[in-house]
Structure 1
C-alpha cells in the first residue's frame, strides 16, 4: 500500500513556514504540469492563512455561488474561520485580486481519514459577496449527476508545489495548469489506493501531477461548458512519481452542496 499524502499546505505549515520556498523561476520539472496559466480562471480561489504577519496560500477552491467556495474537508477541518481568507480574481496568489473573509465553514459530517479517506469535501461562505459582474470572477458549473469514466480529458489548476518532495514545498506565484486524463477506479486501486465510488482518479506521465498546496482545487472537464468534476484530495507520499491523483467526485455530492448553499442563503 502506497503511503497517502493529503495535498494540503497544512501538513507543511505544521513543520513551519521556514521550510516553504516560493518561486516564479521557470523549471522543466514543474510538478503541476509545466504550464503557467496566462488566461483568467475566474472560479479559482486561493485559501490563505496568516503566518508571521503575512498571508500564505495553503489550499485551492472553486467559486460555486455568489458567496460559496467548494474545497476539500481536510483543508478546513482544523481551521478557524477567523484565521482564513479567500482571494479571488487573480493568477498570482501573492498579488492582486480581492480578499474576502470567511463567515462560516461546512465540513462534510461524514468526512473521515480512518481507515480510509472519505467524503473529503467542504464549503465555506464568504463576505462580502463575490463581485460576479467582473470578468475575472465567476462561478463554475458543477454539472449533473452523470459519472465520469476513464480516459476522460480533465484539467487541474492550482498553486501546488513544484517539488516532488513533501518535506519542503516550492510554491509558484503564478497559477499552474495540467491537462491529463482520468483512469478507472479499478486501475487506481491496482496502483495502490483504496478509492470509493465517490472519488475520481487521474494520471499523467511521471513528473506531472497534483502536489502540496493543490488541495481543494478544481478538476475541470473542459469543453463548451466547462464544469467541475473533482476536488483535489490526496495522492502518494511523493508527488508526480507515476502514481494517480485522487479527487473527490463532485457528482456524488450534489444534494449535499445544494443543501448547504440553500441553507446559508436562506439565513
Structure 2
C-alpha cells in the first residue's frame, strides 16, 4: 500500500491520461450547480503561500476522510495541499466554505500510475468537517454491487480546447446527469479486452457525444441522489478518451463497490 503521511500538507501534481485528439476540457453539457446541490463535492487544491490552485475533485466520506482518485497524488509529494468544501466557486472564497489540511493520503496498493482500474485513494484530513446543509457525506454501496441507471457528476474541469489544457478550470462547479452504459458496451467502444478498462470500472455516455467529464474533474464522484440527504457514490472519475464529449468517447470511473471494503477499512474513524 502506498501511503503518504503529511506532517503539514504534502501533496502531488495531478497527471491525467491523454488520449488522442484535441479536447474541450470541461463537463460537456453541464450547468452551474446550485448551492447545496452537491454537498459532498470538494476541491483538492495545491497551496503555495496564500494562493491555491484546483487540481482534482473528491467526495466527503465522513468528518475526517475524503474519497478521490489515486492519480491525483501519484507523481510528486513535494507540494502542499488543502481541501475546500462548501463553496461552488474555486476563484474566490465564501463564508460557507471550510478549508482543511491533509494529514495523510493512502492510495490503493494496486495503483501503479497511468490509466488503472485501481485508481482510488482515501485522504485523512488534519481536522474535521463540520456538517451543514452545504457540507454532507456520501454513502457507499455494498461490496461488488453492480450499479446502473442515472448518476450525477460534478467538477471544475478545464475549459481549454488545447491538447495541453493547463489549469484553465471552470470557476463555478459544473454538474450533469448521465446514464451508466452497460459494461460490455463500454468495453466494446474502448477496444475490447486487454486495455485499462476492466471489471473494476464503469463508464457513462452518452456515446452519441455532447456530455462528459474531462481533465480536472478526476477524483469527483458519480453519485445517485436517493432523497432524504442520501447520496450513494457508485463511481470515482478517473480518465477519459479524448476528445472529451466526442462520439464513442465515454467517461471512465473506478467502480466504488469493487473497493467498498478497502475504502471502509481506510476511512474508519
Normalized against structure 1, the TM-score is what?
A: 0.81
Cα distance in 2 between the residues matched to 1:9 and 1:237 = 21
Unpaired runs of 5+ residues, structure 1, are 1-7, 13-28
Unpaired runs of 5+ residues, structure 2, are 1-11, 17-24
Indicate how the Cα distance of structure 1 residues 30 and 211 shifts in structure 2: closer, same or farther if over 3 A, else same: closer
Superposition deviation, residue 42 in structure 1: 1.4
Q: Does 1:122 align with 2:121?
A: yes
Task: Name the Cα RMSD after superposition.
Answer: 2.4
Superposition deviation, residue 164 in structure 1: 4.8
Superposition deviation, residue 71 in structure 1: 0.2
Deviation by residue 1:36-61 (Cα, 9 ceiling, x = unmatched): 11131211000000358621000000
CA contact (8 A) 2:27 2:175 kept: no
Kindly report which structure 2 residues correspond to 1:60-139, keeping only aligned pairs within 5 A, or say none.
60-80=57-77, 83-94=80-91, 95-96=93-94, 97-113=97-113, 117-132=116-131, 134-139=132-137
CA contact (8 A) 1:157 1:217 kept: yes
- Normalized per residue, the structure richer in helix is 1
| Equivalence for 1:19 | none
Superposition deviation, residue 189 in structure 1: 1.6
Report the secondary structure of 2:267's partner residue: helix
Aligned residue among 240, 251, 254 for 2:260: 254
Superposition deviation, residue 187 in structure 1: 1.0
CA contact (8 A) 2:26 2:156 kept: no
Count of residues paired in the alignment? 237
Normalized against structure 2, the TM-score is what?
A: 0.80
Q: Does 1:154 align with 2:151?
A: yes
Indicate how the Cα distance of structure 1 residues 42 and 83 shifts in structure 2: closer, same or farther if over 3 A, else same: same
Q: Does 1:220 align with 2:219?
A: no
Deviation by residue 1:103-125 (Cα, 9 ceiling, x = unmatched): 001010111346x6121000101
Report the secondary structure of 1:171's partner residue: coil
Cα distance in 2 between the residues matched to 1:42 and 1:244 = 25
Deviation by residue 1:84-136 (Cα, 9 ceiling, x = unmatched): 1100111112322111100001010111346x61210001011210012x221
Q: 4+ residue stretches of structure 1 with deviation over 6 A?
A: none
CA contact (8 A) 2:27 2:174 kept: no
Report the secondary structure of 2:117's partner residue: coil
Superposition deviation, residue 236 in structure 1: 1.2
CA contact (8 A) 2:46 2:79 kept: no
Aligned residue among 210, 229, 232 for 2:234: 229
| Equivalence for 1:49 | 46
| Equivalence for 2:211 | 208
Cα distance in 2 between the residues matched to 1:102 and 1:84 = 7
CA contact (8 A) 2:26 2:215 kept: no
Report the secondary structure of 1:253's partner residue: helix
